[in-house]
Amino acid sequence: MIRLNLLTAWRNIRRNSFYSLLNIAGLAIGLAVGILILLWVRDELSFDGFHKNASFIYKIDSHVGSGASAQIWDGAPGPLAVFSRQSIPGVAGAVRILPRWEKLLTTSGPASSPDTRPASFLESSSAFVDPDFFTLFDFPLLEGSRSRPFRDDHSLVITRSVAKKYFGNADPLGKTLVIDQKNVFTTTGVLADFPDNSSIHYDLLFPMDFFGHHLPDSSWKPVDEDLGNYTYTIFLRLQPAASPAAVQQKLSSIYAEKQGSDSKTNFFTLRPLRDIHLVSNGGDHNALSIVRIFAAVAILILVIAGINYVNLSTARSMLRSKEVSVRKMVGAGRPQLFLQFVTESAILFGMASVLAFVLISLLLPLYNNLAAKQLVFRLSDPGVWLVVGCTIIGTLVAASIYPALLLSAFRPIEALRGKFSVAGISNAGFRKILVVTQFTFSVGLILSTIVIRDQLRFIREKNLGFDQSQVLSVNMREGMHDHYQTVINELRRFPSVEGVAASNNTIAGRFNGTGATGWEGKDPSSTFLINFGFIDESFIPTLKLQLAEGKNFSGTPADSGHYILNETAIRKIGMKNPVGKVFSLHGIKGTIIGVVKDFNFKSLKENVAPLVFSYDSAGWTTLYVRARPGQAADAIAAVSQLWQRYDGAYPFSYSFLSDDFDRMYRADQRIGTLFNVFAIVAIIISCLGLFGLAAYSAQVRTKEIGIRRVLGATVIQVTGLLARDFVTLIALSFLIASPVAGWLMSGWLHNYAYRTRLSVWVFAGTAGFILLLALLTICTQTIRAALTDPVKSLRSE
């Protein structure tokens, strides 16, 4: 019986090769894209789950400020780790991480022979960590001791790729690396490279004790005592029975006791390790929502592909009515027929699955590039088979049941009359419902894609409040920093250089923050969070910032007692006529001499944050150079020339401000690109189905077309007659999809503080595009049918 079913199914597939190929193509594309999306979703949801105690590890987030200035910081004061270990029941471990934002010139120790030179590279991913880092987390330690990873404060743990880069195949333990030509560290451990699905990624790990013994400034308090420094990332591992809510309340109580403040109940909250990748410290679930949307898109594409199969199968049911009727009359039962048609579906799905695997193998490198992932499609991976199996079996079951039920359920007498129905719904009626559903999803994807594209374009074109064009930034080393005045004087002599300035950090979202502020009339119990930057007198004019009132720094020693605040800072502290008023930063009192107009230095997902500028040449680490139009290459060459003179031991690197700001939106740009691809795939699959339905419609109405042509109907009239029903269904799809997509994308746009508006032209343009595409698809078949010789049409059976 099974052999007969397979043989019969194969003959039917070959006999209807045109429709079989359409089905296989639509299913293969849908399965390939659906599986690729679900692999991405699986990877996103797997972040940090490989730690055996991941469910009990939490990160401390800090709640600072009050009222309008309240914010949540990723960092926390270092002493919280000590308090947690010593005074809070239920805490099994605590680890501090202090990222090193600077690039480190790292050189291997003395050469092994006179003919070899030490390897030297700039390392940009490093951090200071507590020794418990290696026991709290489960990152594989290939060499060294987990219980004693650092032998002293000049020890170093590196990743396998770093060890290979500096020491080749030699054993790295005991070998030395020289950092910035002055500090020598001995390698005492080697970690496996951090997994791609880890929120924590570093190449070099230094002992926290080294930072504690080499604080940047003599005024800094010891690491274990400084409650005002929120730059540490702190993780806690709780006992299985411990309550995170109780721990964070106890942590906040200890902090309030140490600080002598009772203005807030919770200064700190605990965020689960598994949430860090997809949920922000403020509880923003936007990234998680994107993952859910992608999962929904994968299901929608699979549904669209399945609808194609159902539509084409049920549409051709009338053409198979005689076959089914004869088989029933000679004794075939409904279970036998049902099994026959499910077998045909299984063969088609098997062929589509093989083609889908081929497409995945071919498309995966491009997909990884678009999604910035390193996904691997290995059929030996049980996790891959879980995704693949659920996708294929789910789609097969959903798409094959109705056609099999329809073809096995109708009565021979009804079949010969051309009447089919299941559950009271006619064959044609059900098919119309599926077409509307299919194009509703496709229209929704296209509308979403257009809105995302418009928002990303809005971000790129929005005036940020300063001129970022033709401005390059360079992280100065000791040589350029110590000879800064000479450097800027020489740069200004180059014709290609329009302006030169300096600050303590890049303006693209990287100003530091602090709550150590004061002003006249401030409530002593309140905390005000403000970003701060150290700039020179050329910073404001070089970046073309605008002063709302007051004046700029003059470049004289008197500027050390002056501050310039932005409009948001003045507004949030409620100060009237601020110029001349007293303001303090980190306990240093000064006078406000100016107010700079608000400008966006963070992502446009956030409103402009409070900001204060001070004048401190010791903090100038970033050099800004504005090139004259069309002379950027010459300006870069000029900076490189001076770099070689003062900091030639370090590789020269630079970045343009415009590129720095674009990096803030790379995740959104990737999402926009992927949505473009998904929308195109959905339309291709939908049009394949529409093409097949149009061909079927023309086939079953061959005699009608011939009669109409004989009676004088024109090609245009016949084409319009055949296309009218499809156009009506697609128009209905648009009417359903538009309000739903508009509502969903309006919610997505609210993730941005600055956003474009939903325009009626977006919807009108989408409607026109969909209708035009549908007409082109339909007309390829209807015009061909209308042009057929009427004599041949009337002779057809």
pLDDT of 402 higher than 70:
no
**Rounded Cα gap, residues 195 and 202, in angstroms:** 11
Any domain includes 267: yes
Is 570 a domain residue?
A: yes
Phi and psi for 531 in degrees, rounded to 5?
-85, 145
- Where is average pLDDT lowest: 39-48, 273-282, 727-736, 771-780? 771-780
Q: 692: which DSSP letter?
A: H
Percent above pLDDT 70 for the chain: 80
- Residue 19 above 70 pLDDT? no
Same structural domain, 218 and 253: yes
Question: Does residue 533 sit in the same domain as residue 624?
Answer: yes
| Single-letter residue type at 321 | S
Q: Regarding predicted confidence, which is higher, 432 or 66?
A: 432
Each residue of 494-508: pLDDT tens digit?
999 999 998 887 777
Which stretch of DSSP H or E encloses residue 457? Answer: helix 427-461
> Domain boundary residue among 219, 246, 275?
275
Residue 90 lies in a domain: yes
Residues 594, 696, single domain; the answer is no
Q: How far is CA 563 from CA 7, 509, 534, in A?
A: 86, 20, 10
Select from 213, 248, 275 the last residue of a domain: 275
Q: Using 50, 70 and 90 to split pLDDT, how confident is the model at 382?
A: confident
Choose among 756, 38, 25: nearest CA to 459. Answer: 756
pLDDT classification of 789: cutoffs 50, 70, 90: low
**What is the spatial distance between Cα 148 and Cα 129, in angstroms, rounded to a whole number?**
13
pLDDT for 137 equals 95
Q: Distance of CA 381 to CAs 28, 140, 375, 388, 727, Å?
A: 21, 21, 12, 11, 45
Q: pLDDT tens digit string along 751-763?
A: 777 888 888 888 8
Residue 423 phi/psi, 5° resolution? 60, 35
Answer yes or no: do 69 and 162 share one domain.
yes
DSSP letter for 609, please.
P
What is the mean pLDDT of the segment spanning 1-8? Answer: 57
Confidence check: pLDDT of 741 > 70 = yes
- 374 phi and psi, to 5 degrees? -125, 50
The reported pLDDT for the residue numbered 164 is: 93
Last residue of a domain, one of 599, 619, 649: 649
Nearest 10 degrees: CA dihedral of 473, 476, 482, 487?
A: -40
Compute the distance between CA of residue 704 and CA of residue 710 in angstroms, rounded to an integer. Answer: 10
Shared-domain flag, residues 332 and 231: no
Name the domain count of the chain: 3
Cα–Cα distance for residue pair 158/156, rounded to 1 Å:
6
Whether 595 maps to a domain, the answer reads yes
Same domain, yes or no: 182 and 330: no
Query: Does the pLDDT at position 275 exceed 50?
Result: yes
> pLDDT tens, 625-639?
999 998 999 999 999
Span of 99-108, 110-119, 126-135, 483-492 with lowest mean pLDDT: 110-119
> For every residue of 635-682, which 3-state class applies, written as one string?
HHHHHHHHHHHHHCCCCCCCEEHHHHHHHCCHHHHHHHHHHHHHHHHH
- Looking at residue 82, its pLDDT comes to 92
178-199 pLDDT per residue, tens: 998 888 999 999 999 999 999 9
Sign of the dihedral through C-alpha 344, 349, 352, 354: negative
The answer to whether residue 15 scores a pLDDT higher than 70 is: no
Mean model confidence pLDDT for the chain? 81
Distance from CA of residue 783 to its chain's centroid? 45
Domain presence at residue 658: no
187, β-bridge pairs:
156
Backbone angles phi, psi at 538, to 5 degrees: -95, -10
Q: What is the pLDDT of residue 424?
A: 45
Is a pLDDT exceeding 50 seen at residue 245?
A: yes
Whether 294 and 423 map to the same domain: the answer is: yes
For residue 566, the SS3 value is strand
Amino acid in position 3: R
**pLDDT reported for residue 14:** 62
CA-based nearest residue to 107, from 95, 94, 123, 118: 118
**From CA 337, how far away is CA 324, in angstroms rounded?**
8
226 and 297 part of one domain: no
Question: Taking a C-beta distance cutoff of 8 angstroms, is the pair 296, 393 a contact?
Answer: no
Q: Report the candidate in 163, 152, 159 with the shortest Cα–Cα distance to residue 207.
A: 152
- Would residue 50 count as lying in a domain? no
Grouping H, G, I as helix, E, B as strand and the rest as coil, residue 474 is strand
Would you call 548 exposed, middle or buried from its count of C-beta atoms within 10 A (0-12, 13-18, 19+)?
middle
Place of tokens 């956003």: 755
Residues 505 and 359 in one domain: no
Three-state DSSP class for residue 531: strand
Same domain, 65 and 39: no
Of residues 203 and 397, the one with the higher pLDDT is 203
> Which domain range does residue 494 map to?
478-649
pLDDT value of position 205:
96
Residue 139 has pLDDT above 90, yes or no: yes
pLDDT of 192: 95
Q: Are residues 604 and 671 in the same domain?
A: no
How do residues 81-114 score in pLDDT, each as one tens digit? 999 988 898 999 999 999 988 888 889 876 554 5
313 with 412, same domain: the answer is yes
Judge whether residue 767 has pLDDT over 50.
yes
Calculate the alpha carbon distances from 363 to 106, 357, 672 in Å: 38, 10, 18
User: Within its chain, how far is the Cα of 591 from the centroid?
Assistant: 43
Q: What percent of the chain has pLDDT over 90?
A: 24
Whether the per-residue pLDDT at 547 is higher than 80: the answer is yes
Indicate whether 525 belongs to any domain. yes
CB of 429 closer than 8 Å to CB of 314: no
CA–CA distances in Å: residue 474 to residues 142, 143, 478, 539: 37, 37, 13, 14
Half-sphere exposure of 476 (CA within 13 A, CB side): 28
Nearest to 227 by CA among 78, 29, 382: 78
The separation between CA 103 and the C-alpha centre of its own chain, rounded to angstroms, equals 25
Residue 542 lies in a domain: yes
Phi, psi of 244 (to 5 degrees): -55, -40
In eight-state DSSP terms, residue 615 is: -
